Copies of this chain bind each other. A is one copy, B any other.
Amino acid sequence: MALSSYYPQLVAQRRELHQWPEPGWTEFTTTWYLVQKLKAWGYQVLVGTKVVNPEAVLGRSEKEVEAGLAAARAHNVPEEFLKATEGYTGAVGILDTGRPGPTMAMRFDIDCIPVQETADPNHVPNKEGFRSKHDGYMHACGHDTHMSIGLTVAKWCVDHKDELCGRVKIVFQPAEEGVRGANAVAASGVLDDVDYFLGSHIGMVAKYGEVVIDPYGFLCTTKYDVTYTGKPAHAGVEPNAGRNALAAACSATLQLLGIPRHGKGMTRVNVGMLNAGKGRNVIPPNATMVMEVRGETGEINDFMAEQAMNIIKGNAISYGVEYSVSKMGAACDMKNDPEMIDLLRETAKTIPEIKTITESANFGGSEDASLLAKRVKEHGGKVAFFVNGADRKAGHHQFNFDVNEPALDTGFQMFAGMVKRILARK
């Protein structure tokens, strides 16, 4: 196995980032870590409303942002930096070679998910001492590896600046989980001058030594928060006087999970969280459901959303409760540009670690990189997203998720190889 000379950096950064996972829109400590590195390597760095359009922000909780800021202060992140963020996480690093040429953006997502990391002593982060120190949160979707790859590519670009032309944009996007962040990053316009856009995910449908250069099946998705409001009553004395919001949510959940499969393609539906009720002997007057639908195409996703809205309304009528629905996130489908596919194939062929170049495979999930790609396309750019294979111990989002670290090197080499091809100095 031939790993690049950047491998130690890849592993070190990943292990550091793995220890302080932060949920979407609260990645202040993380952003600070990234920004420091970029600045040290000579990047111009944009943060705050320069990279996030507040009007297009989806699914951001002020309360959680406060907690994220408090944690950042506890981690000694400078107050000046926090002020510069204007309360919005994420950053874009820009490296201008000074030579005319295209602008190439590479996107890396930076948030974690709210899963408690396993205590299993054989879990590598436990064995090697880099377990999450943020109780209840974990980089169980591999964004720690994405960031480390992003930083390493950034460093590689500096190291090879003389061989390059045009401009590099390293995009550290917040809040990918829940497909919340990209909508506002796209709307900031920071990618509007981009000629080539490249993104990637680790693991997923590919094993270590394999890359998928034209994945399909990026599920369109819409995220909703639903609240039911009923009427409390003493559950012993006059249960009939109540209006049971919890029961409405439970019934809606079962009906939502039962939305018919679609003949034209994949669908998904999940009620990820349900919180309801005020006390054991009170007919529950309140319920909140955190949910999402997905579809292989926009048409299918619309079908799912329409069925969901009917169900949410129907149960309000059944149980005599009020309801409200808020849209919390969105992603669309994505199609790689043929020129980019060719470049990815070429690049992959030069990397000895890659044994299998899979043209096409079902991604089977949602990615809000799709919204960035859509924006770039609308402005005439070309886009691609590849899957960087890895060996994992458990599925994404599970408490014992982990990938083999050499996979970071493959990912890094793919990105660096693409830069070399796209921004090659004439």
Contact = CB atoms under 8 A, between A and B. Distances in A.
Interface of A: 113-115, 141, 177-178, 204, 219, 221, 223, 231-242, 244, 246-247, 249-255, 257-258, 260-264, 266-285, 287, 290-292, 294, 303, 307, 310-311, 313-320, 328-329, 364-366, 395-399
Contacts of A264: 238, 240
Contact of A114 (B261, B278, B294): B278
B280 A178 contact: yes
A134 to B, nearest CB: 14
A282 B397 contact: yes
A240 B260 contact: yes
Given A234-B395, A240-B262, A240-B303, 14 more contacts: A114-B282, A232-B399, A235-B270, A241-B263, A246-B273, A250-B254, A251-B251, A251-B254, A255-B318, A255-B319, A261-B268, A266-B266, A274-B274, A313-B318
A292 B235 contact: yes
A255 B254 contact: yes
A337 B218 CA distance: 31
Contacts of A274: 246, 249-250, 274-277, 284, 287
A267 B113 CA distance: 28
Contact of A280 (B237, B247, B292): B292
20 contacts: A115-B279, A141-B234, A221-B236, A235-B292, A237-B364, A239-B262, A240-B260, A240-B261, A241-B398, A246-B271, A247-B254, A257-B257, A258-B258, A272-B282, A273-B276, A274-B276, A277-B290, A282-B397, A313-B317, A314-B316
Given A254-B250, A263-B237, A280 B272 contact: yes
B255 A239 contact: no
A264 to B, nearest CB: 8
B258 A247 contact: yes
Given A317-B314, A320-B310, A241 B395 contact: yes
A420 to B, nearest CB: 31
A98 to B, nearest CB: 42
A263 B364 contact: yes
A275 B273 CA distance: 8
Contacts of A237: 204, 263, 364-365, 395-397
